[in-house]
Structure 1
């Protein structure tokens, strides 16, 4: 509850959370919100200007741009969120095991992570997609395989800090099982760090899937995706630049909202950042005391 209150006090964080929630709901209820079938082709409406029936106009095949924009939320945001959850889940379990048990377990898992992290994330994703072939499912597999090691290492570092705390040592001394200690004492205190790491990666994964779809390696036609919509409008970017405006703005708005929310989440969860903020009452009190001291002098 305190986390929600602290974040809600930040107007930018509240606005970002509202935008993300609205976009996610629009993607979930896309069949009911989209005014037209996103795959319906009508060559008579090819490059038609915006109208009341088609608020954002039509593309090179006469398809409704607004409907495709709404359906594009699913691969661009919802499926990325699912891949992020899978990466954090798999990497988080390995990070918890490595950070808590240490020893040979930690050494073996971290050497595997070192091998995975020796390749840049984009290169690893491109290699996996090149092996498996283009497509949304293969892109999600590439994300999980390329990201889990990074999450494992980050979460392992966080868990190592809490595994040496006094209350964990006391629990071990009285015979509490390792599984119970991890679930009841380590996971709750490590969740804020996991949330911050996950939120900061969400925006980069959205940009990554949009970039791969723009290059033709992600979502394939006729399915709608924001990066692929940019690629389809690229051929007429000088004669009809407005066709690139809608998907481009959608990507920018979502990424900005996620980044702002990530910063606010980190500030709300980090006590050091909260204590570093100036307190208006204390500043006013010190200013008043200083003025009174000058008057007495």
Structure 2
């Protein structure tokens, strides 16, 4: 695959892809990889340091930190990927409809997007959580209800760049159906933009869901989640600051991997960025010009 070959030339992007795949696989197979039950309470091991049996030590209830870290991938990363899929799907349907058909459809869809985007994302999410109640499921629903409008606007802008191309006009003139034109000619050329926009949004959504869990609005105890683990370690941050390192480093590494992967993917899919990068790497040759007196 050409995109894979272009993306694999970037070492940072390749390493980020491996990290992302490894994290996703660890979350999917958490019961097989976790060495202990993440909910098992052992007060005799309260705040125990790292050992061969408990590689990252134990928390305030004697629970295995490594096991909770692995199980925390599910709400912190896998749930975000599911929400992102639904948000992009809704945004893509409305964005294609607005950018391709234009007219009243475009006007109505964009006015609805303006209303949704007129409020800050955090405020809208907090309002929806306040109405639906505290919990991970309600936060995920709030994400879908607030994120789709931004994807719809971005995808509409991408579609508008191609709907007036000559081959699109020729397809319309030949009597090809709108669904066939969108499926055969519009989706393939806009897929790169959609992939870049979606991949660049994952990191921010992971930070948001961890932030809400840190505030106590997300997943509730005793379930494991990275933001909630940070909140639990906050109580002993001055006496045992090492308790904040595992969930904090997990968030930093995963979010950075998604951001680096998005940058690499954008460069691999956009030939203009690749050409500019090559030209930037090549230093111009300075030739001495003889001066005649």
Question: 2-side partners of 1:282 and 1:171: how far apart?
Answer: 42
Aligned to 2:98: 98
Matches within 5 A, 1:256-271: 256-271=256-271
Question: 1-side partners of 2:280 and 2:119: how far apart?
Answer: 48
Cα deviation digits, residues 33-60 of structure 1 (max 9, x gap): 0000001111111111111111101111
Does 1-10 or 149-158 show the bigger shift?
Answer: 1-10
The total of aligned residue pairs comes to: 290
Aligned to 1:32: 32
Question: 2-side partners of 1:239 and 1:29: how far apart?
Answer: 34
Question: 1-side partners of 2:164 and 2:266: how far apart?
Answer: 23
From the superposition, tell whether residues 182 and 34 of structure 1 become closer, same or farther in structure 2 (CA, over 3 Å).
same
Q: TM-score, normalised by structure 1?
A: 0.94
Aligned to 2:108: 108
Question: 2-side partners of 1:145 and 1:212: how far apart?
Answer: 16
The secondary structure found in structure 2 opposite 1:223 is coil
**Structure 1 residue 278: deviation in Å?**
2.8
Aligned to 1:131: 131
The secondary structure found in structure 1 opposite 2:235 is helix
- What runs of 5+ residues in structure 2 fail to find an aligned partner? none
Cα deviation digits, residues 67-110 of structure 1 (max 9, x gap): 00000000000000000010000111000000000000000010
Aligned to 1:170: 170
Question: 1-side partners of 2:143 and 2:120: how far apart?
Answer: 12
From the superposition, tell whether residues 32 and 132 of structure 1 become closer, same or farther in structure 2 (CA, over 3 Å).
same
RMSD over aligned CA atoms reads 1.6
Which has the larger helix fraction?
1
Aligned to 2:223: 223
The secondary structure found in structure 1 opposite 2:54 is coil
Matches within 5 A, 1:13-92: 13-92=13-92
Question: 1-side partners of 2:97 and 2:20: how far apart?
Answer: 33
**Structure 1 residue 279: deviation in Å?**
5.2
Cα deviation digits, residues 218-276 of structure 1 (max 9, x gap): 11111100000000111100111111000000000001111111111111111211111
Cα deviation digits, residues 136-159 of structure 1 (max 9, x gap): 111110110010000000000000
Does 97-106 or 259-268 show the bigger shift?
Answer: 259-268
Q: TM-score, normalised by structure 2?
A: 0.96
Does 200-209 or 272-281 show the bigger shift?
Answer: 272-281
Matches within 5 A, 1:175-254: 175-254=175-254
From the superposition, tell whether residues 278 and 50 of structure 1 become closer, same or farther in structure 2 (CA, over 3 Å).
same
Question: 2-side partners of 1:275 and 1:12: how far apart?
Answer: 18
From the superposition, tell whether residues 280 and 125 of structure 1 become closer, same or farther in structure 2 (CA, over 3 Å).
closer
Within the alignment, does 1:147 sit opposite 2:147 as a pair? yes
**Structure 1 residue 200: deviation in Å?**
1.0
- What runs of 5+ residues in structure 1 fail to find an aligned partner? none
